[in-house]
Structure 1
Amino acid sequence: MPALFYHVTQSPVEEVVESLLPRALAQGWTVELRGTDPERMDWLDQRLWLGGDESFLPHGLAGGPHDALQPVLLTVSPAPAGRDAIMAIDGAEVTPAEVGSVQRVWILFDGRDERAVARAREQWKALTAASVTAQYWSEESGRWEKKAER
């Protein structure tokens, strides 16, 4: 499966996370939501808990006694093997081996943040240089469109 790069320009990254996670869970996948900042992951954890009944996403913050049972595990470091999908935000690292070992990889980056765009370009180059197929998706037009594949 390709690594899917989502260039987020119309919505906050967390809203895109909240729209993709239910689709992943509907596929029966367990998801690792990987970030880089423990405080941001704690904030996302709180946001997901406060979503209300219709938008509630079963999840947990890494480091608890039931990490392996969480449908969505929020973490700042790679979780033990066994997850079906990885969603990386805020420039979190995803290795070529990881892409090959899961059903889906999303790399979401904020198009309004030049450092995030530069980091996504680095990730694209590293993954494609390692022969990983990558797709670039943009929401510039107001809906998601595939702009490139390599």
Structure 2
Amino acid sequence: MTEIFFYHLTRQPLDRALPALLEKCLERKWRVVVQASSAERVSALDDTLWTSSDESFLAHSADPDGQDEPIWLTTTEGNPNGAAVRVLVDGAEPPPDLEAYQRALILFDGHDPDALDAARAQWKALKAAGHDCAYWKQADDGRWTKAG
């Protein structure tokens, strides 16, 4: 069964938290698909990943033929780069073949009541489907701590 990690963003916005999580995945040699709920968010994430750090570069693509890149940005359910990790942002719904992934990360804005409600609904549905879900929150120093 796929491990599902919920990340409750309270200290950093998505555009700051996501690059650090992607770097951790790449350190483990995992390819990643990042699924957003809109083309506008994919475009914004594309820009963010180009400029997130002066010290490193996160190789990625938002091109429909993103199979050569370790990170692929999309609004669709596809997995052209053979990713082991699926990241869902902005309430994007998990694909039906979520079991094909080693891990899924669901990032949600802790300051948005609608995002909180959507994350709760996803948690319940994924738990009911038999997935092992864990909840991560940011400590005061910005580090992630497992809370459940």
TM-score (norm 1): 0.89
Q: Do residues 78 (structure 1) and 77 (structure 2) align?
A: yes
Contact 2:19 2:52 in 1 (8 A): no
Give the direction of change, closer, same or farther, for the CA distance of 1:19–1:52 in structure 2 (3 Å limit): closer
Q: Secondary structure at the match of 2:58?
A: coil
AA of the residue aligned to 1:129: A
Moved more, 28-37 or 89-98: 89-98
Q: Report the count of equivalent residues.
A: 145
Letter in 2 for 1:20: L
C-alpha contact (below 8 Å) 1:29/1:71 kept by paired residues = yes
Aligned to 1:67: 66
Q: CA deviation at 1:12?
A: 0.4
Contact 2:3 2:102 in 1 (8 A): no
* Identical amino acids, percent of aligned pairs: 37
Runs of 4+ in 1 over 6 A off after TM superposition: none
1:115-126 superposed matches below 5 A: 115-126=114-125
Q: Map 1:1-150 to 2 at 5 A.
A: 1-63=2-64, 66-80=65-79, 82-95=82-95, 97-98=97-98, 100-142=99-141, 143-148=143-148
Native 8 Å contact 1:9 1:140 kept in 2:
no
Gaps of 5+ in 1: none
Q: Distance in 2 between matches of 1:144 and 1:83?
A: 23
TM-score after normalising by structure 2: 0.90
